[in-house]
Amino acid sequence: MAAASFYAILQGQFIGKQRNSVSSHRSNYPLGFQLRRILDIFTVSCLTFLLVACASGNTTTPAASPQAHPTPTTLPSGTVLYQADWSHGLTGWQASPHWKIVGQYLQTDLSDNLSLTAPYMPTVPDYAVEFRLQVVSVPKDGGYFMLTADNVPGKNGYQARVLDLLDPNPHNAATHPLTEVAIDPFEDAKDNPNSETFDYEPGFGWRTYRVEVHGEQVFFFIDGTRVSRAASAKTKVLSNGPIRLICGKAILRVSNFRITSV
């Protein structure tokens, strides 16, 4: 349609001019030939314009490459998060009276309800607390020790404990100290058809005690053997502290206290 309009305009103007100049100037080419030549030029120009326009319209902006987001790193199992050094005192620790430093270890007297609070709280949900402990003396039945993490909002606590330490006198064959790990508070514990409380004789040598926290579960190991486990039915993760060592009615020695990732 644009070409036809253009043709009509050209024809009117060109023919008018030709008629006015016939007497004075004679064209060297027929009129039809000149009109066709002009139309050819116009057509080529239109096609060139359309091709350029199409090429510009089809140009697409390259899609932006997705930005790489760093993935959170997890600590390798066994990474030491905290290592106690009591060679220079109990700096940072919250210790009740009746703890004393003897060389590289701590020692208690026979007082009851002694506590020792670690200055570090792990920042990872899965961790282990490990320490060496020696029962030195139990003059009367009823000595005990336990590692605890406080019950806090949104995170149940736990208690890994050895109870009812016995004096050296003979006892009934059915009487033994007990070991277990329990959720704090007890009513939040997940039901377990199997008993997780066991007889245990720590003796008077050094033992390695280890508590592992995995999500809502806690495991208690003695010298590399798992002796008890518990799980919370209420919270998906367990407390990361404050972490305390509580004991009483026995002389104990503690060394090599550390916290690691698991």
Contacts of 245 (CB under 8 A, 6+ apart): 115, 116, 118, 131, 145, 146, 147, 148, 254, 257
* Rounded Cα–Cα distance for residues 196 and 55 (Å): 77
Mean pLDDT of 214-232: 97
Asked whether the beta carbons of 115 and 106 are under 8 A apart, the reply is: no
pLDDT greater than 60 at residue 95: yes
Q: Check residue 142 and give its pLDDT.
A: 96
Domain 80-261 has CATH 2.60.120.560: yes
Mean pLDDT of 20-47: 52
Mean pLDDT of 58-72: 49
> Any idea of the CA torsion for 132, 137, 141, 145, to the nearest 10 degrees?
-20
**Sequence spans of domains, the chain:** 2-57, 80-261
Residue that wins the pLDDT comparison between 50 and 166: 166
pLDDT band at residue 252 under the 50/70/90 scheme: very high
Task: Single out the residue of 225, 222, 228 nearest to residue 135, CA to CA.
Answer: 222
Mean pLDDT, the chain, rounded, equals 83
Mean pLDDT of 157-161: 98
